[in-house]
Amino acid sequence: AQRHKTATQGPCNTSKPSMLDFVNKAKWDAWKSLGSVSQEEARQQYVDLISSLVGTEAPAVAAQPTGSTKGFQTLLVSTEDNITTIRLNRPEKKNAITVEMYNELIEALDLAGKDDSVITVITGSGDYYCSGNDLNNFTKIPEGGVEKLAKESGELLRRYVKVYIDFPKPLIGVINGPAVGVSVTLLGLFDVVYATEKATFHTPFSQLGQSPEGCSSYLFPKIMGAAKASEMLLFNKKLTAAQACEVGLVTEVFPESSFQSEVWTRLKAYAKLPRNSLALSKQLIRVVEKEKLHAVNDAEVERLVERWLSDECMQAIMSFFQAKSKL
């Protein structure tokens, strides 16, 4: 990473942060120490730096298995009134998706697709719907190094998106607060999306040197046209709930005060409709795009794995943590 930085920008010369903040100072010193090293060394230091930064910023919190009916660690899953609800349950981490959570979501969706519920709902615990990929995911380096990490992360993402593409019954998003990254891009694969007025929709991929996933590179232009999709997917435009509704990413927006009651009243009514008619109609809508969606998913993941291993992405993520640590 630093090789590129050195070549293009010269050694680190960011102005030193306030000395009052010892934590920040430590990080700044770590960053500064990356002055001039080989690419391999830089990559390792990058990993170490990220680990130390996120270690400080984001301590792993033991998930509370409260109320979970299926024994998940990061989710609350329950079935009632013909509705299976999957609730992202790491509110203290804004429901950021860890590797464990990706795996649990895949399992929970797989079960929900097969159970006898009529519709499936995904929502979040706490103030956030989901803050996207937990960047801690990039810091637990396996034996095979970052290449292996990137490849495994890519395969996990591919499987995760695949479950949404193949989901066999109506899938409804109840967006209870801000949504970021992959939790936004996947909305194109939901059948209905209801949002509180305080939800926002943000996909800051390029800011982190990355590229869009969740089939958004195909579905967002289809939903809202390229002119609006690219502003989100390339230029990090954050949408309000009202804006997301205008462009068609969100079905309807509700006042925060009545959000839960209005939405769940509707969902209970939906869940009384003929089960097979709903499932078969949803599949009818999906089948015409399914092959293309799988191809898009594969292409997006391939590109993203390349991105994760690029100097540009590493630098962008470091800058992100730098900025965060300076706040």
Binding footprint of a second copy on the chain (CB under 8 A): 170, 187-193, 205-212, 217-219, 221-231, 233-236, 247-252, 266, 270, 273-278, 280-282, 284-285, 287-289, 292, 295-296, 299-300, 303, 306-307, 310, 312-313, 315-316
Q: How far is the CB of 221 from a second copy (least distance, A)?
A: 6
How far, in Å, CA of 87 to CA of 74, rounded?
Answer: 9
Return left, alpha or beta for 238; rule: phi > 0 is left, psi -120 to 50 is alpha, else beta: beta
| Crossing angle between the packed helical segments 226-233 and 216-224, to the nearest 10 degrees | 140
Q: Which is closer to a second copy, CB of 8 or CB of 66?
A: 8
CB 169 within 8 A of CB 117: yes
Q: How far is the CB of 48 from a second copy (least distance, A)?
A: 22
For residue 240 the two structure tokens come to 């309000």
- Closest separation between CB of residue 306 and a second copy, Å? 8
* 3-state SS class at 34: coil
CB nearer to a second copy: pick between 31 and 164 = 164
Tell whether the torsion through CA atoms of 269, 75, 109 and 255 is positive or negative. positive
CB of 267 to a second copy, least distance (A): 10
Shortest distance (Å) from residue 47 CB to a second copy:
19
**Nearer to a second copy among residue 102 and residue 190 (C-beta):** 190
CA distance 74 to 68: 9
Amino acid at position 232, single letter? M
By beta-carbon proximity to a second copy, the closer residue of 53 and 245 is 245
- Cβ proximity to a second copy: between 28 and 190 the closer is 190
| Helices of type H across 64-136 | 99-114
